[in-house]
Amino acid sequence: MSGELSPIDKAKFVAAKKATEYVESGMRVGMGTGSTAAWLVRCLGEMVRDDGLRIKGVPTSTRTAELARNVGIEVISLDEAKWLDVTIDGADEFDGDLNLIKGGGGALLQEKIVATASDRMVVIADAGKEVDALGAFPLPIEVIPFGWQTTQALVEETLVSMDVLGRNSSLRMNGDAPFVTDEGNHILDLHLNRIGNPRQLALVLNQMPGVVENGLFIDICDSVVVGHGDGRVEVRDINAGTVEQDRLEFVETDNLFADLDD
């Protein structure tokens, strides 16, 4: 590895490392998608290799599945697992009630299915992902390609009656072509600025024809592990109402940090 990790990457790493404490041998573990979740997969892979951890991982995207296999984690499908002990994933935003915006990586549908099929969902994030109100990060919604422009127009029209500050939306692109999810769908990013009533918005969006799922995760997250660049971590449990502080020693190892492309 060349050079030191940035403070943001260090924060993501310590959050992921702390979250491995939720994982025990014999568990079926949902593994999220994105840069922070990739740290978690690497940490678990190191535990499989060095500590004899035995788990079955259910990834939320093809790229997470590929990374998990590369680090030695046994990968199975959700249908094979049927139910999960824990899902650990990142988030684009979280608020004080541990409601989330997810989907920046384009895997929100699989992420929500896996998270809701788990006894516990743990979010790992750097401190910059915490917000007073959701919505500064564009809210992704997955839509079917057929008639997506009509769906977009209906969504924008519906937003007029919602408690949001913005109503514009954009089709997510991958170069010159629309971004395509693992399920073959498109993603519309809603630029809302602030969401006053996330629960209401989530329900309304999912009632619209053409919308497959939205990136609001309401009452799904049980705990959040917040990492800081100096090694501090804070664990908040919404069910127990507890907040715990810890500090992890940051040691860069060739095994864990060999591939930082994610």
User: Catalytic positions, please?
Assistant: 111
Instruction: Give the CA distances from residue 182 to residues 21, 109, 120, 187, 200, in Å, rounded to whole numbers and listed in that order.
Output: 30, 9, 24, 11, 27
Instruction: Give the CA distances from residue 216 to residues 98, 115, 142, 205, 237, in Å, rounded to whole numbers and listed in that order.
Output: 11, 12, 11, 10, 19
Mark the binding-site residues, compressed into ranges. 33-36, 89-92, 102-105, 129
Mark the binding-site residues for substrate, compressed into ranges. 33-36, 89-92, 102-105, 129
> How many C-beta atoms surround the C-beta of residue 200 within 10 A?
15
d(CA 36, CA 124): 7
Q: Please name the residue that has the structure tokens 């592990």.
A: 225
d(CA 194, CA 185): 26
Q: Please name the residue that has the structure tokens 């590929």.
A: 66
CA 122 to chain CA centroid, Å, is 10
